[in-house]
Amino acid sequence: MLRGKFIVLEGGEGSGKDTQVDRLKERYAGDDSIVFTREPGGTGMGEKIRSLLLSPDSKDMTVRTELLLFLAARAQLVEQVIHPALEAGKTVISNRFALSTIAYQIYGRDRHEYLPLLQEVGEFVMNNCTPDAYLVLDVTPEVGLERVAKRNDGLTRFDAETLGFHRRVREGYLKHAAIGRYHKVISADVSLGEVSKRVDEEVAYILGT
């Protein structure tokens, strides 16, 4: 059986990733050959780690702890969801994956000295489940944070970071977007409809439909 495709949607806060993933779920509803997941999360253990990572109550979490928790959640997700699905020939579409860790924990936290460690441990964690495609929704931090504020549903630890942090995150995304076999940077400053059209086209192209 041929290995399935692994597609990841990435982007900073307010880029509309969640909305685009929800629209893809609607478009491919009933297609059991496609598995949707998210990171951190996607498993029982991963969701518990997610709660720790996003909670404003975790403001005293160190950068090292944060980095290792993301890797732990990823290891569980790969072992329990992604690897089995790909081996079964299914397509996996994930809301975030390894590129987020580079953008947020290396660039956002300004810990470039951790990149070699992340790359080495990341290979072990991913267990040969390298994404076939990264679709990066590129949002100007000012635009993204304005959208986050309008949601009025409470801020995560990352939503509440400084503008400088979010600018560094964007820099990380744009510098490392090409780590997948196929990558596209899609402007997310435009309307949701325009972004959806681009995302739909790219996913259809990757899947060969």
SS (H, E, C) 166-184: HHHHHHHHHHHHHHCCEEE
- Nearest Cα to Cα of residue 139 among 204, 67, 192, 70: 192
Q: Does residue 104 contact residue 67 with C-beta atoms inside 8 Å?
A: no
The pLDDT assigned to 154 comes to 80
Question: 């397509």: which residue's tokens?
Answer: 91
User: Which is it for the CA torsion 202, 27, 44, 127, positive or negative?
Assistant: negative
Distance of CA 51 to the CA centre of its chain: 16
Question: What pTM, to 2 d.p., does this model score?
Answer: 0.94
Q: Alpha-carbon distance 45 to 203, whole Å?
A: 29
Helices (H) and strands (E) in the chain, counts: 9, 5
The pLDDT assigned to 1 comes to 66
Encoding tokens for residue 133? 């495609």
What residue ranges of the chain have pLDDT lower than 50?
A: none
Q: Alpha-carbon distance 209 to 207, whole Å?
A: 6
Predicted confidence (pLDDT) per residue in 22-44, tens digit: 999 999 999 999 999 999 999 99
Q: Alpha-carbon distance 112 to 172, whole Å?
A: 10
